[in-house]
Structure 1
Amino acid sequence: MSSSDLFALSAPQHGGPDAAGIPLFDFSTNSNACGPCPEALHAVRTADATRYPDPAYTALRESLGAFHGVAPGRIVLAASASEFIHRITALAAQQGAVQVAVPPHSYGDYAQAAQVRGLEVLRGGGTAAGLQWACEPSSPLGLEEPAVRAWQQGDADAAWRVLDCAYVPLRLDPEGAWTGAPSPRTPSACWQLWTPNKALGLTGVRAAYAIAPPDGEELALAITGLAPSWPVGAHGVALLQAWAQATVQQWLVYSLRTLSDWKARQLALCTDLGWAVHAGSLANYFCAQPATAMLPSDFAALRASGIKLRDATSFGLPGTVRLGVLAPAAQDALQAAWQALPGRTIPHRVSTGSGETL
């Protein structure tokens, strides 16, 4: 086995491009399929890459602080969400954490960052003697995280609670839909981790930021001190500066209407394919379970047809796939590719003439 094969086997599982290149129709990521946001893309393309950013990111932290209504001293820049996950886990371990609590189905980097530091991982959430993670809407199911309701109350143990806000701007449910500004529903008595590249359809730009809890500026300084110099480059700075602009937020809010329509169509398509859809997703992605478990050869055949799905086994959901919401043309390609797989048939549905099918 080659070294590249060994690396592929040991690397964490993620969606997106792989050794075969960029999928033609990529359902495996949760990036905003209406993107990229034109204004944010222009900002990235015109960023001055000939100079270092300000190592203190003074203007950027002021801009993000104003956007969230918090002091700039509470803003911590990160190379990516994954980088921050590892950094805050390292700091928690330095300060005595021995356990890390993660949701039952969650992003693998939470547990991986803990395991490489010898911390015990408690799956299923709960109270840990150390660091606690939550993500809302959750990934891969897109559900409300029960722990967040308790966090909204706030308490003295909030210093090592982290809410992953990656999908907050991509909520599609009427009650919690993004309005162009952070919602007061988001608990403040914990760390908040924000990664706008998904919402803006620019996941290739690696940049993120975190907001320390109230009275957490000393912790912000401590975690900043663990970072290398210039964790965010010029293109990441441009993306995050654009994120705080009203016109970019207007684009995002408008795109959510389109995503809602596309999601309804994609849910119906999965039902027509005979897949059991996990109910309740609030975001621009959901999980579904084909009637017959997919084999590695099925994933490979779909990939050869330009379709990539996210196997949810690594999330603790074997036999399930997570699908980001894509445009109708991509959905039709999925249907055709699925129908072409050996032994895969689409249930016959008879029209009643009233718009319903049987």
Structure 2
Amino acid sequence: MTGSPHGGPDALGVPLHDFSTNANACGPCPIALAAVRAADASRYPDPDYTALREALGAWHGVAPDCIVPAASASEFIHRITAWAVRQRAAGVVLPAHAYGDYAQAAAAWGLPVLPVLPASAVFPEAPPPWVLHWACEPSSPLGTSDPALETWRAEEASGSGADRALRVVDCAYAPLRLAPAGAGRHGPALPVNAWQLWTPNKALGLTGVRGAYAIAPEHARPADIAALRSLAPSWPVGAHGVAMLAAWVDPAVQDWLAGSLATLRGWKAHLREACEAMAWAVHPGSQANYLVARPPVAHLAQRLRDLRAQGIKLRDCASFGLPGRVRLGVLPPASVAALQSAWKA
């Protein structure tokens, strides 16, 4: 199909109705946008990101030294994969359907993709961590909870498994969870023996601003955190990314986000009803601001090209391992009406 399978602007420009990305459609957050516009781009940021790490650490209830700034989620995915290779990891375990950068980083570093390992799996030829294991909370494209997290929590309770894997939870869509989270402002309780990767730009509707951060797990050694920092280039986050990440913990920004989630819930219900009215089979269980559906057509790629020519872009799920399906980010009712009209035409 025309353009990048990742979504967003492509060779045809900016879509009039872009269902292909999962950014918060209520955005951009006005407060965060003002902070980004006010950023002083005439100077380098603090290379140690001291104030930023203190603010993020306080918000998450961890020490500032546990915060590792990153240029983006993709940059950190490649960085921690490189570190796993340096630790002689035997391979990488991926979610069944997920963001392609996990596999891309593994391929770039020659790390084989492994099936999900049983609890008894060991690799005596390599020191811990035996594997790099990825999970998403919630997952993309399906928006469901990653079953790996339940396994990790069970292993925490039993005191086993921490020495078998370098675990990373991608929390990109945790702030956009629309189903009741039941565990406070950060969503469901995450395993304490896993790294957490946070990318607030999606929740803030500012995907054009790059900036992310990781939180080290409780058992992480200071030397390992330092090693991950040392693998980054100088100033991985620029002034605008620092401004966005600093705004992320502003209570007023979090209030805006909470209000936007209420709006997105209503828009998502409308989108689901519209899909069902077009006889699209909607995959159940999505708890995020997007869903997956199967249009009743034999040549989906051509239909998606036709829609794109009319200014409507959907995400083909073939790259996720789900051919014949599309992922739709939640958009306002006017965009949904445009999709219905174009599909009928």
State yes or no: 1:119 paired with 2:111.
yes
- Please state whether the residue corresponding to 1:162 is helix, strand or coil: strand
Give runs of aligned pairs for residues 201-212 of structure 1, distance below 5 A. Answer: 201-212=205-216
- Rounded to whole Å, the distance in 1 between the matches of 2:144 and 2:86 is 32
Ranges in structure 2 where 5+ consecutive residues have no aligned partner: 122-129
In the alignment, which residue of structure 1 is the partner of 2:139?
138
Q: Is residue 172–residue 200 contact of structure 2 (8 Å, CA) maintained in 1?
A: yes
Aligned with residue 69 of structure 2, among 73, 77, 91 = 77
Shift of 1:94: 0.5
Query: Structure 1 60/126 Cα, relative in aligned 2: closer, same or farther at 3 Å?
Result: farther
Shift of 1:152: 2.5
- Rounded to whole Å, the distance in 2 between the matches of 1:103 and 1:93 is 19
Shift of 1:178: 8.1
Query: Structure 1 258/48 Cα, relative in aligned 2: closer, same or farther at 3 Å?
Result: same
Q: Is residue 31–residue 198 contact of structure 1 (8 Å, CA) maintained in 2?
A: yes
Q: Is residue 99–residue 140 contact of structure 2 (8 Å, CA) maintained in 1?
A: yes
State yes or no: 1:312 paired with 2:317.
yes
In the alignment, which residue of structure 1 is the partner of 2:252?
247
State yes or no: 1:197 paired with 2:198.
no
**Count of residue pairs brought into register by the alignment:** 329
Query: Structure 1 254/123 Cα, relative in aligned 2: closer, same or farther at 3 Å?
Result: farther
In the alignment, which residue of structure 2 is the partner of 1:354?
none
Give runs of aligned pairs for residues 1-358 of structure 1, distance below 5 A. Answer: 13-122=5-114, 129-153=130-154, 154=156, 155=160, 156-157=162-163, 160-174=166-180, 176=181, 181-183=185-187, 185-216=189-220, 217-340=222-345
Shift of 1:17: 1.0
- Rounded to whole Å, the distance in 1 between the matches of 2:59 and 2:223 is 21
For residues 174-211 of structure 1, the C-alpha deviation after alignment (integer angstroms, 9 at most, x for no partner) is 2x1785x3246122210000000000000000100000
For residues 206-244 of structure 1, the C-alpha deviation after alignment (integer angstroms, 9 at most, x for no partner) is 100000111423221110000000000000000000001
- Rounded to whole Å, the distance in 1 between the matches of 2:211 and 2:252 is 20
Residue identity over aligned pairs, in percent, reads 62
- Rounded to whole Å, the distance in 1 between the matches of 2:183 and 2:261 is 8
- Rounded to whole Å, the distance in 2 between the matches of 1:229 and 1:263 is 41
Query: Structure 1 149/27 Cα, relative in aligned 2: closer, same or farther at 3 Å?
Result: same
In the alignment, which residue of structure 2 is the partner of 1:355?
none
Counterpart amino acid of residue 24 in structure 1? L
Q: Is residue 136–residue 170 contact of structure 2 (8 Å, CA) maintained in 1?
A: yes
Ranges in structure 1 where 5+ consecutive residues have no aligned partner: 1-7, 341-358
Query: Structure 1 208/218 Cα, relative in aligned 2: closer, same or farther at 3 Å?
Result: same
- Rounded to whole Å, the distance in 2 between the matches of 1:78 and 1:281 is 28
Runs of 4+ displaced beyond 6 Å: 125-128
For residues 285-331 of structure 1, the C-alpha deviation after alignment (integer angstroms, 9 at most, x for no partner) is 01000111343321111111110000000000000000000000100
Counterpart amino acid of residue 179 in structure 2? D
Counterpart amino acid of residue 214 in structure 2? A
TM-score by length of 2: 0.91
Question: Relative contact order, CA 8 A, sep 6+: which one is greater?
Answer: 2
RMSD of equivalent CA atoms: 1.8
- Rounded to whole Å, the distance in 1 between the matches of 2:211 and 2:321 is 28
